[in-house]
Structures are given as C-alpha cells and as structure tokens.
Structure 1
Amino acid sequence: MKFDVAIIGGGLAGLTCGIALQQQGKRCVIVNNGQAAIDFSSGSMDLLTQLPDGKKAESFEQAYEQLERQLPQHPYALIGKARVLEKARRFEQLAQQIKLGLAGDSEHNHLRVTPLGGLRGAWLSAASLPVLAETESAFPYQHIAVLGIEGYHDFQPQLLADNLVQNPQFAHCRVTTAYLHIPELDHLRTNAREFRSVNISQLLEHKLAFGDLVREIKQAAAGAQAVFLPACFGIDDAVFFNNLKQASGLNLYELPTLPPSLLGIRQHKTLRSHFEQAGGLMLNGDKAQSAEFDGNRVSRIFTRLHRKDAIFADHFVLASGSFFSNGLVSDFDRIYEPVFEADIIGAPQFKQDERLSWTAHRFAAPQPYQSAGVAINSACQVQKCGRFIENLYAIGNVIGGYNGLELGCSSGVSVITALVVAENIAAAQG
C-alpha cells in the first residue's frame, strides 16, 4: 500500500493533520488503534493556561516569552511565537469550517465550569458549555438549576452546586438541584455498569418521548434562569441537545461527566467524518508495530494486521499519543517509543536512565514522567540516535519536553504541531 502520508494515531492530532493534508490534495492513511484521548475529554481545548513556575497564563501572546525562557524545549518554543499564533488561528478557522461547534479565540483564555463546580482556563470550548469570557466577569444569571438524572452517579448536582458558589463569579447566584427521572431509563438503572452517558444517549435518541422530557426539565428547573445538565443528550452531534434547548425555551448548558465524554466523542466523530469525506483512509483496529529505514528516511511501516503487506509513504507522522494510548511505553528501567525507537526527552527534572526521577514524592504533584516523549526540532522532525529523520514527524502528546496536564496545553500542542507538520509536508512535496 502506497500513500503520500501515513499517520500513526487517529486522535485530535492525527485527524487534524490528516484533514489539513487531504485539503491540500495529499493521499493520507491513518492507522487507528482504538479509542483516543479526545473521547475522554471535557469538550474544551487549551492553548496555554499555566507557566512552569506556576503563574496563570491568561493570554498566550503575553505569556509566551516567559514560557520560552522557563522551558526552551517546549514545542511552542521550538516552533516560535508567530507560527504558533498563526496555526492557532488556522485551527479556529478549520473548526468553524467543519462545524466542530467551538467558541473562543487565541487572544485570551476564557473560564469554563468543571463538573465539580470549579473554573478552569480554556482556549476553545463547546458552545453548549457554561463559560465566562473574563476572570472578573460574573455569570449573567442569578438562579441556576443543576439537574441530575435519578440513579446516575457520574454527575453529582449537589457537589457541583456547593462548589460553584465558592467562586466569586457565582457568589451572587442561587443554585438549586433536582433530578430527572426519565422513565425510559428504568431498565438501565438495574445495572450500574450500563448506566453511563453513552448508553443513556443512545437509548434516549431512539426510545424517548421527547415532549415528556421537555416537560420534566421545565418542571425540575422551577423557574431557574439557567439550567446545567449532564452531557447525556446526543452522541453524534449537538442537534438533540439544541432541540431540547429550543423546545424548552430555557438557557440550557451541558457539563461533561465521568469518561467517556459525549462532548469529546462528538468532536472525534466530526473530525473523523471530515477526514474520510475528504478522501482519507482509516485503518481502524490496527496498530503500527515496526518500521524500516533507508538511510535517514523511513521507507515503510508494518502493522499488526498488515505484517507482510507493508505501508509505504513519502512521509510518516507519529501521532500515537502518550502512555494512555501506548504511544509511549515504560519498562522498569526505561521509557521508550515502540515503533521507531525515537530518542526520548523530558522536562529538566526527568532523567530517562534514573527511574527515581520519574515521579515526585507528592502523589498530587505534577509527575516528571508526564513530560517524557520523543525529541523533535522546529520542523517537528523526530530525532533518532542523535539525528533528525528527514521524513518522520511527531505531533501531539507523543512529543516530550513539557507536561501538558500541568501547563494546560495538551490539545493546543496537538493541533498546532499537526498544522505545522501538514504545512511542512506540503512544502517538502511542493
């Protein structure tokens, strides 16, 4: 099998890169091993919310110089401020073009409400999420009803309500709680393992008395100006939720639940659909296992399902993610990237050959191993045995040198590096 570009990994980074390349006329294949981290995400994407020294970053442009000085190996520092901002705006345009349903911009972070009633910075958020444009702004409604679903334990209305009013932006609000019964869910309640957001959504879309649900929501809201619901209404897109909002006449908002997250699943399905509509090929349920090199270039890769029928390409993109998706693997004495055996780097406190440096003493502290990943240059080319491979690139969370969870930049790095690599490949083949 011969392609212009072979991408290993079908998550946010891989699909974004694939869509951009397909739009430029390249023939791409994505080797997709299974569920991606985006299926478990909050529905928000972050560009940069915190600096390595712990200071909050409310604006990427204003915080960039400090980030570059404190963590010069961060992918943003390698790529450069101007190009990062350019690609951030390009992704905003792409998200609008393919109707991802995101709100926000790279000029300034906004605050999103978390399922536990906290506030976190974000770059882009699903339009159905409750957000605040600025840290000082107050939520525009005084009475909020938080509605759970009877018997559903992955969303706790009272806990959310108690924590929400501790934030100054919600201190003026009266927050009440109630539960929806929704009789159609009765048989799910008999098995807690099946009572999850995905199962609820699938059942409601096919067996729901829609008018009854609208009436139940309006009754439980008890005149509230804003209503917070768990994200359990609409697995493929936001149409079902928007119909609820329109039919009820209420200011409905949805919040992510314990994984899997419908908000993330919707985004994943939209990205995958547009990649395939653009002519891209998905090899689902397959896994890249090894590669062959011709000098300083990758010549082909072998997968679990194509051990004898290799995949040839002009360029290869490693978008396999971190430990969660086995893009990185740890043994007792080493952390490694299993397909290409790329060089591994981490944050300054991480030393690959010293296992005791991989973890911090405090369990809740940022862990050094979370910064481990492959080494790249400014073009996102992968380093192996001290030299950069001409036609092998890395994008997303498989890249090392930073802790995306700590700094709030995981999804930003994913889409920025994806678009940088798509541009570099187009230029190399042009």
Structure 2
Amino acid sequence: MKFDNIIIGGGLSGLTCGIKLAEQGKKCAIVSSGQSAIHFFSGSFDLLGKIDGQDVKNPLEAIKILPDTHPYQRVGIENISRLVVEAPRLLDRAGLNFFGKADENHFVLTPMGIMKPTWLTIDDFTRFEQNDAFPWKKAVILNFSGFLDFHTLFVQDGLKKYNVDTQIKNFAMKEFEAIRRNPSEMRSTNIAKVFDSGDAFDEFAQKVNQLSEGFEVVLLPAVFGLFTKSVALNLKAKVNKPVVLLPAIPPSVPGIRSQILLRKRFEELGGTYFLGDIVEQGTFKNNRLVAVQTNNHGDIKLEAEQFVLASGSFYSKGIVATREKLYEPILGLDIDGDTDSEKWLDEKFFNDQPYMHYGVKTDSGFHALKNGKPIENLFAAGSVLGGANALKEGSGAGISLLTSLHVAEQILK
C-alpha cells in the first residue's frame, strides 16, 4: 500500500500532523498501537507552565529563555508565535472548542484542589484568571457512591487554602446500581455511557439541584459527554448553580472524546487510521525510509514518500530503557541521552530527572538520525523528541501540537 505520508503513532502529535497534511490534500496513513496519552487528558493543553518551579505568566516570552536544545527553540520563536494561533483553529475544525491565550496563562483547578497554569482549556472545564483565590466561598463536592476515581478529600483539602467552606456529599441512583456492584465497572467511561444514553440525565440534574441548596457552586467529576460535548453543556444549563468539573483518574472522558473527534476529522479528510497495529521494522535505502512493516499487515509493506515518527516517549514505549541500554525500538534511531545508565536518574525523586530530557536525536529540520546521519524523509515530532522535561515544565501538549505542525509544514514545502 502506498501513501504520501505515513505517521507512526496515533496520539495528539500524530493526529495533529495527519490532519494538517490531509487538509492540504495529502494521502496519509496513521499506524496506532492503541491507547494514547490523550486518554490521560486533564482538560487542558499546556504550552509552558513553569520554569525552575515558578509559574509562567507569559509562555511566549518565557520560551525565549529556554535552552537551545529545547524543541520550542528548535522550532523557532517566530514559528511558535504563528503556530500557537493555528493549533486551536485546527482543534476547532475537529469539533474541539478550546479557549486560552499563548501570551497569558490562565488557571484550572486540579483534582488535588490546586490552581495550575495552562494555555488551552476545553469548554467543559472552568478557567480562572488568578491562582490565589477561588471565586466562591461555599462549595459542595458531589460524587457518585462507589466511584473511587474521584478523590473528594484531596479537593476539599486543597480548597481550604482559599478559605472555601466545603461539604462532600455522595449519592446513589438506580441507573448506576448495575455497574456499582463491581468496583472495576464503576469507571468514568461507564458512568458517561449512562448519561450519553439519556436515561439518567434529568433525574441527575434534579438531584444536583437538591444537594446544592445553600451552596454557591457545585464541584463534580468530569464524567459527562463521552461521545458528545452537549451532555456537559446541558448539565450546566439545567443546574441552578455554577458547575465546576474536575478531572478524575484516567481514562479521561473528555480525553477519549477528543481522540474520537480528532480521528474522525482525520478520516473525513481521507486519512487511513490503522488502529491496534504496530510498526515492527522499516526498510531503508539510500539514506531514506522507503517502507514499514506492521504486525497486522504481515508481508504487505506500507510505502510512503515521507514518514513521521510520533510514537511518544517512555510511557507509550516510543523510547525504551533497560538495565543495559536506552533505545528507540521501532527503527533503531539514535537517542539523545547518556549511555551511562547510572546517570539517568537523580537520587532525589522530585528533582529534574535526566532521563526525562532524553529522546530521538534529530537535525535542525527534525529529521531523525540513524547511525549519526539524518534520514532524508523521516521526521520526529512530539514527546519522542528530547530536550525538555514536559512534566516539570508543563509543556507536553504544546510540544506535541507545535512540533507536529512544524514538521507537517516542512513536509509540505
């Protein structure tokens, strides 16, 4: 099978790149092994949240002081300034409505009850302009009886810092009895499916109104709208008080919805999405990658003019570390990381861990290197790149979105 572009990895980075290319008429395929980091989506996409442990107010300005090896610096400040405008527009065309500004972080309330700086927040969630106060002084935290993935006590403890008087209330509904009998079934996605069917929605909204009497605001786990955002919007319309949704333990309902909508957009543009398939090896010729072989396609090779590696970092096994070595498992690409395993970790757990900066080595044009040489038609994008500790910085989604758009532009030139 022949394509213009083949992307290895079907998460945020791979889908963003695929949509950008497909919008320009390219025949694209994405090979996705399955669950991606979008399923851990907290409701927001960070651009740059912290530097040296301090909150960043203006990410576009703060990016300028990052080291030259950082993916943002390699994309280029001028390109970043343009791509931060394009990214939310691409998401909007996929049916995902995000709000935020690249030159001014806003804040979102986390499941730990603390305010976190971020760039773009999906419209399910509430955005706050400051991190030293909570707009309401009397809040009720509601949870479904038997739902263990929403830690109400953490939220309550966090809100104490803002002098918020909170009360926790658990409630039961007959529509959830079947899944509540088995704790493994009482998960956010299964709760969301009940609401998507419409059977419990009106009764639930009524119950929320009853339980929130005497309070200024209602806090709920984000378990609404697995397949459509209208469920969360309708809930806010039917509840008499402001509703603040908080992420629960993954899988994330808004995250899965985002994955579904991005994939739908890609396929509507003519893209081919190979779900549950794994690239096992590539065929190289004259310093070019000419084809890849996958587990599901056996001897049938997938050929393309250009390839993009968006396989993720350690979490998704885009990079693998053993006791002996650090390596990229699909194509045997060079890794930008220390060969001495004793230097991978800092003994102080909460310090900036060296291994978090490791990734596939590329040239200035994001061509992946193999045996020290850049592969002419193979690009790397997203968290498979090195040079940043996305967890410490709060930059993971931004790196995925912006490097993918940048790589797509290099391919389209």
Q: What TM-score comes out, normalization by structure 1 length? A: 0.92
Q: 1: distance between equivalents of 2:122 and 2:104?
A: 16
Residue 30 of structure 1: aligned partner: 30
Query: What corresponds to 2:136 in structure 1?
Result: 141
Corresponding residue for residue 158 of structure 1: 153
Paired amino acid for 2:215: A
CA distance in 1, matches of 2:313, 2:371: 20
2:50 equivalent in structure 1: 50
Residue 57 of structure 2 corresponds to residue 61 of structure 1: no
- 4+ runs of 1 displaced by more than 6 Å? none
Helix, strand or coil at the partner of 1:379: coil
**What residue is the counterpart of 2:366 in the other structure?**
380
Q: Is the 8 A contact 2:70 2:388 kept in 1?
A: yes
Matched, 1:302 2:297: no
Q: How does 1:264-275 map to 2 (within 5 A)?
A: 264-275=255-266
State the match for 2:233 in structure 1: 242
Which of 209, 225, 229 is the matching residue for 1:218?
209
Structure 1 residue 200, shift from structure 2 partner? 1.3
Q: Cα deviations across residues 336-379 of structure 1 (Å, max 9, x unaligned)?
A: 11122111114xxxx1x211111110233332222211012332
Distance 1:247 1:365, change over 3 A: same
Residues 176-225 of structure 1: per-residue CA shift (max 9 Å, x gap)? 22123122111222111111101111133337233211111101112323
Q: Which runs of 5+ in 1 are unaligned?
A: none
Query: In the alignment, which residue of structure 1 is the partner of 2:389?
Result: 403
The one of 125, 128, 132 aligned to 1:129: 125
Q: 1:177 to 1:80 in 2, by over 3 A?
A: same
Unaligned 5+ segments in structure 2 are none
SS in 1 for 2:50: coil
Please name the residue that 2:82 is paired with: 86
For residues 339-354 of structure 1, the aligned pairs below 5 Å read: 339-346=330-337, 351=338, 353-354=339-340
User: Structure 1, residues 235-277: CA drift from partner, whole Å, max 9, x if none?
Assistant: 1122111111212233222111011111211111111111111
Structure 1 residues 392 and 132: CA distance shift in structure 2, 3 A: same
Identity of aligned residues (%): 37
* Aligned 8 A contact 2:277 2:294 in 1: yes
1:187 corresponds in structure 2 to: 178
Rounded Cα–Cα distance in structure 2 between residues aligned with 1:383 and 1:262:
37
d(CA) in 1 for partners of 2:157 and 2:352?
Answer: 27
Q: Please say which of residues 248-257 and 5-14 is displaced more in the overlay.
A: 248-257
Letter matched to residue 353 of structure 2: Q
Distance 1:64 1:11 in 2: 24
> Does residue 115 of structure 2 align to residue 119 of structure 1?
yes
Secondary structure of the structure 2 residue equivalent to 1:4: strand
> C-alpha offsets along residues 286-333 of structure 1, whole Å, 9 cap, x if unaligned?
001111111121111111112311011000000111121111112221
CA contact (8 A) 2:361 2:385 kept: yes
TM-score, normalised by the number of residues in structure 2: 0.96
